[in-house]
Amino acid sequence: MVSQAKSHHKLIVLLVIGSVGMFGFGFALVPLYNVLCDKLGINGKTQNTASSYQAMTIDTDRTVTVEFIAQVQTGMPWAFAPKLKRLKVHPGELIRTAFLASNHADRRIVGQAVPSVSPGQGAAYFHKTECFCFNQQPLAAKADAELPLIFYVDPDLPESIHTLTLSYTLYDITDKQASDALEQGAAK
Amino acid sequence: MNTLTRELNSVAEPADQTQLHEEDHHHHQAPKGIWRWLLTTNHKDIGTLYLWFSFIMFLTGGTMAMVIRAELFQPGLQLVEPNFFNQMTTVHGLVMVFGAVMPAFTGLANWLIPMMIGAPDMALPRMNNWSFWILPFAFTILLSSLFMEGGGPNFGWTFYAPLSTSFSPDSTALFVFSIHIMGISSIMGAINVIVTIVNLRAPGMNWMKLPLFVWTWLITAFLLIAVMPVLAGAVTMVLTDKYFGTSFFEAAGGGDPVMFQHIFWFFGHPEVYIMILPSFGIISAIVPTFSRKKLFGYSSMVYATASIAILSFLVWAHHMFTTGMPVFAELFFMYCTMLIAVPTGVKIFNWVTTMWRGSISFETPMLFAVAFIILFTIGGFSGLMLAITPADFQYHDTYFVVAHFHYVLVTGAIFSIMAAAYYWLPKWTGHMYDERLGRIHFWCSVISVNVLFFPMHFLGLAGMPRRIPDYAIQFADVNQIVSIGGFAFGLSQLIFLAVVLKCIRGGEKAPAKPWEGADGLEWTLPSPAPYHSFSTPPEIK
Ligand code: HEM
Ligand SMILES: [Cu+2]
């Protein structure tokens, strides 16, 4: 019977380790999914650093439609829209366009745009050499701004994709930014 | 860890007979009244507590369902505010899943597993006490949040971010803590079940002799340990996103709300099997008894259960077909989902074959078991329809999904629990239940449940969305029928309460084995089963 207590003990320890391990696994799923989506380029996330553009042959035989969508987080007092809703581009061509943002509130607000490309598989072929989404966008009360975007479509874009839709959602991160600043201040 | 080690000593005690007697003695002087129930470490007491708790939660969640159906009786907003309506659908789901179905199965496990494997009790009796007694606290917290300013959880039982983060009521922290407690309770219960089954089987009770209820529960317990911690992780991330500024699911901070769905359904799909595998065990006990034949295909049942459990980890994204996954992922999850229908079909086939040419009698447990087989199969078929990706784009988030999961959960899980209650009541109480009342309960239930849920298929196909307090006028007639079915089903369950109370208080004395075709160690014990099941291990032939 002493041996029974021992075998209980061993099993319990294993099972508790299993549960704790699965709790950790739940959190590990976050980076796991991110890495997986990144590698396979499947969730429409574009890279959040600028790509460089080397002169390349422009595939003038092919035309890809690029559409722009802009959205603002519910309740955020900004107007936000693409300057042009739709563009026809050739793969390899460097294109410059812009989005327009205006702050309707009586206070300074910091915005952060989060991009997403649809269809998701196209995201890896959409390269931005300059984008306002790489930085935070502070706008003073009642101020307007033109937010530039420079991009090109990779000539390797799969033949099956004819249209790429780039969507930006703008979030109000004023509070977050303030608390980050406080934390950084405290750290110093 | 400290409690665990103490636990071990208490289990080691029954080692020698004198000590066991001392313990018996101890029990006779054990506190009476409320203290007996608060301090009990006896598997039967704890099983009883779980079962009553589950029944109370069943009525609580049922009351919420009545509010939902009353509001939906007519189009337009009549009775409740939309926000309160959302709280009702959310808490109804949470209470039924975590309060009614899961504790009922744990209660049955407590009562039956030691008796079925020839053990004196569960392996970890004190932990058993804890795992039950934290549950009432969890549900008090959850239900009390309904009365707070801003209301209780209103984001659906699936608590998708950002509904549960950016847009949730202030009481969300309470929801999170209550889920944590429920999770801890389930995990402790699962550990107990595994240790009991692995270590306390009577000599000679080898793996392929285990009753299927024990097998299915063993596999369920492993599923619980694998996924309840993931649920705990998901609610923790919701908590920190909402209150502590993390951005797991917050796009503004670099997170991803779709990730929530991946994590949730990684828990969620195995969870639905946690709620059905023990039912398979129950049906596999009842069908042979009343068919007076051996179960057809015992070992294929074991393998089918195990393969369902493994496959259940590979299908979670069938809840997410419309989130814009790449085509190859849609196809992968579609085929894996359909693959699960194969082992499930094996089970249905085995039950039907067991009945084939048996000399069947239809006592109440068998009535519920047969209804289970037919109606659960309907739920499986609607599941297959939902598994077809392009079709799911049409059905997703409509009443068709509501019909699907109520067929598998109400006429599946709940019906099997009812069947189990009728089947083992004589063993638990020592009295036969009132067969006439039992049959009335069955027929009222089976008719009303179909009036309640079958028309929902058509509502869904016609495009009525789920989780709305108001609807387009063309859905009015069918909703009225559905609501009437709902009220009838709710009232029918009071008959069940009457049967159980009557059976506890008296009735024809039950012999040790009230069902002539029954097989299994529990029937070798007298009825009612003695306080300690097998003080000396039985002999297994
Ligand atoms: C042949 C077996 C099954 C298949 C193929 C299947 C398939 C599916 C699919 C594809 C969905 C997602 C529908 C949608 O949201 O658009 C779904 C939802 C659901 N299923 Fe099943 N299912 C099966 C069995 C079960 C069982 C046995 C249970 C529980 C005991 C269950 C419980 C649920 C629940 C609760 C939902 C809805 C979750 C929610 O969104 O709230 N299913 N099923
Ligand atoms: Cu599922």
- Residue by residue, DSSP assigns B125-143 as HHHHHHHHHHHHHHHHHHH
Residue B211 located in a structural domain = yes
Give residue A36's pLDDT: 81
- Please give the residue range of the domain that contains residue A101: 64-179
Domain count for chain B:
1
Q: Where is pLDDT greater, at B214 or A4?
A: B214
The pLDDT of residue B421 is above 60: yes
Specify the residue with its C-alpha closest to ligand 1, atom 2.
B380
Same domain, A120 and A28: no
Q: Which residue is it, tokens 């007298």? A: B526
Q: CATH number for the domain including B134?
A: 1.20.210.10
State the pLDDT at residue B469: 95
Are residues A81 and A114 both part of a single domain?
A: yes
Q: Cβ(B427) to ligand 1 under 6 A?
A: no
Q: In percent, how much of chain A has pLDDT > 70?
A: 88
Q: What average pLDDT score do residues B276-297 get?
A: 96
B340 CB under 6 A from ligand 1?
yes
Task: Look at A1-5, B250-254, B520-524 and tell me which has the smallest mean pLDDT.
Answer: A1-5
For B267, name the nearest residue in chain A, comparing CA atoms only.
Answer: A26
Q: What is the CATH number of the domain that holds A168?
A: 2.60.370.10
With an 8 Å Cβ cutoff, is B251 touching chain A?
yes
Residue B157 maps to a domain? yes
Tens-digit pLDDT profile for residues B449-504: 999 999 999 999 999 999 999 999 999 999 999 999 999 999 999 999 999 999 99
Of A19, A26, A169, the CB nearest to B187: A19
What is the token pair recorded at A166? 């780039």
3-state secondary structure A78-131: EEEEECCCEEEECCCCCEEEEEEEEECCCCCEEEEEEEEEECHHHHHHEEEEEE
Report in angstroms the alpha-carbon separations of A109 from A174, A177, A178, B353, B407: 6, 10, 11, 70, 50
CB contact under 8 A, A169 and B251: yes
Same domain, A69 and A155: yes
Pairing state between β A126-131 and A95-103: unpaired
Q: Is the dihedral of CA B522, B524, B526, B530 positive or negative?
A: negative
Over the stretch B204-240, which tens digit does the pLDDT of each residue have? 899 999 999 999 999 999 999 999 999 999 999 999 9
Tell whether A12 is within 8 A of chain B (Cβ): yes
Of A64-78, B71-85, B419-433, B483-497, where does mean pLDDT reach its minimum?
Answer: A64-78
Say if residue A188's pLDDT is above 50: no
Structural domain of residue B47, as residue ranges?
43-524
* DSSP per-residue string spanning chain A: -HHHHHHHHHHHHHHHHHHHHHHHHHHHHHHHHHHHHHHHT-S-PPPSSPPP-------TT--EEEEEEEEE-TT--EEEEES-SEEEE-TT--EEEEEEEEE-SSS-EEEEEEEEEESGGGGGGEEEEEEGGGS-EEE-TT-EEEEEEEEEE-TT--TT--EEEEEEEEEE-HHHHHHHHHHHHHH-
Place of tokens 């429409």: A44
User: A34 and A68, same structural domain?
Assistant: no
The residue whose CB lies within 8 Å of the most ligand 1 atoms, and thus the one to mutate among B337, B347, B401, is B401
Look at B229 and A2 and tell me if their CB atoms are within 8 Å. Answer: no
Evaluate whether B260 touches B234 at the Cβ level (below 8 Å).
Answer: yes
Please provide the DSSP assignment of B29-81 as one string.
TS--THHHHHH---HHHHHHHHHHHHHHHHHHHHHHHHHHHHHTTSSS--SS-
Element (H, E) at B11: helix B2-12
pLDDT of residue B10: 39
Tell me whether residue B244 is in a domain.
yes
* pLDDT tens by residue, B297-333: 999 999 999 999 999 999 999 999 998 888 888 999 9
Give the mean pLDDT of B264-277.
Answer: 97
Tell me: pLDDT of A136 over 60.
Answer: yes
Q: Does B234 touch chain A (CB under 8 A)?
A: yes
Q: Which atom of ligand 1 is found nearest the CA of B409?
A: 30
E strands, B126-226, in order: none
> The pTM is what?
0.88
pLDDT of B24 > 70? The answer is no
Closest C-alpha to ligand 1, atom 7: B383
Regarding the beta carbon of B347 and ligand 1, being less than 6 Å apart is answered no
Count of positions (residues) in chain B:
541
Q: Are residues A36 and A109 in the same domain?
A: no
**Number of Cβ within a 10 Å radius of residue A64:** 21
pLDDT at residue B26 greater than cutoff 60? no
Q: A83 with A163, same domain?
A: yes
B25 a catalytic residue: no
Does some domain include residue B441?
A: yes
Check residue A182 and give its pLDDT. Answer: 56
The verdict on the CB of residue B383 being under 6 Å from ligand 1 is yes
Instruction: With respect to residue B213, please indicate whether it lies within any of the assigned structural domains.
Output: yes
User: For chain A, how long is the longest CA-to-CA vector?
Assistant: 82
- Interface contact B203, partner A, CB < 8 A: no
- Does the annotation mark B271 as catalytic? yes
Is B9 among the domain residues? no
Pairing of strands A163-172, A64-72: parallel
User: Do residue B123 and residue A121 have CB atoms under 8 angstroms apart?
Assistant: no
In a domain, B537, yes or no: no
For residue A161, the tally of other CB atoms under 10 A from its CB is 14
pLDDT at A48: 67
Number of domains in chain A: 2
How many Å lie between the alpha carbon of B411 and the closest alpha carbon of chain A? Answer: 31
CB B412 within 8 Å of CB B420: no
Lowest mean pLDDT among B9-18, B95-104, B129-138, B156-165: B9-18
B160 secondary structure, DSSP code: -
Relative to the alpha carbon of B273, which ligand is closest? 1
B172 is catalytic: no
Whether A169 and A84 map to the same domain: the answer is: yes
Is the separation of the CB atoms in B232 and A23 below 8 Å? yes
pLDDT at position B2: 41
Known catalytic residue: B6? no
Q: Residues B23, B531: contact at Cβ < 8 Å?
A: no
Q: Examine the domain organization and report whether A78 and A126 are in the same domain.
A: yes
- Say if residue A22 is in the same domain as residue A76: no
Q: What is the pLDDT of residue A180?
A: 61
**ipTM score for this prediction:** 0.86
Cβ neighbours for B395, distance < 8 A, ≥ 6 positions apart:
B385, B386, B401, B460, B461
Residue A57 within a domain: no
Residue A21 zone, left/alpha/beta (φ > 0; ψ -120 to 50; rest): alpha
pLDDT at A178: 64
Same domain, A131 and A93: yes
Q: Tell me if B347 sits within 8 A of B301, measured CB to CB.
A: yes
